[in-house]
Amino acid sequence: MTGAALTVSEIFVHLAVSVQLLTRVFYVVLMIRIVASFFPPRTEGAWNWIAGLSVRLTEPVLGPIRRRIPLMGMLDLSPLIGFFLVDIAGFLLRTLFLYLARF
């Protein structure tokens, strides 16, 4: 075995970076879902596939929020709350991993 092994601290730093990356990817996918709700796909094609993928990836987060928070007229606040909750969860996980990396 020729490669240097990662220390536990390095693993936790990599986990913190991974959480940050996943949080940003989720933001992009959620923004695509929001845009797709205003401009729904009309034909089969790339936009239809991308919009469907964004729904499948964000529904596990937005579905439970939507069931608990009623619509305000025609306005669905679940994406806004989803942004907020994913941001808090990402911050807490990154902070925990970076804290554990210090030891």
- DSSP symbols for 25-63: HHHHHHHHHHHHHHS---SSSHHHHHHHHHHHHHHHHHH
The verdict on residue 44 lying in a domain is: yes
The answer, yes or no, to whether residue 1 has pLDDT greater than 60, is no
pLDDT at position 74 is: 82
Q: How far apart are the first and last CA of the chain?
A: 26
Between CA 94 and CA 74 the distance in angstroms is 35
pTM check: above 0.75: yes
The verdict on residue 1 lying in a domain is: no
Q: Could you read off the pLDDT of 67-89 as tens digits, one per residue?
A: 998 878 888 889 999 999 999 99
Residue 40 structural domain: 8-101
- 29's tokens: 């996918």
Between CA 16 and CA 41 the distance in angstroms is 36
In total, how many domains does the chain have?
1
pLDDT at position 2 is: 53
The verdict on residue 2 lying in a domain is: no
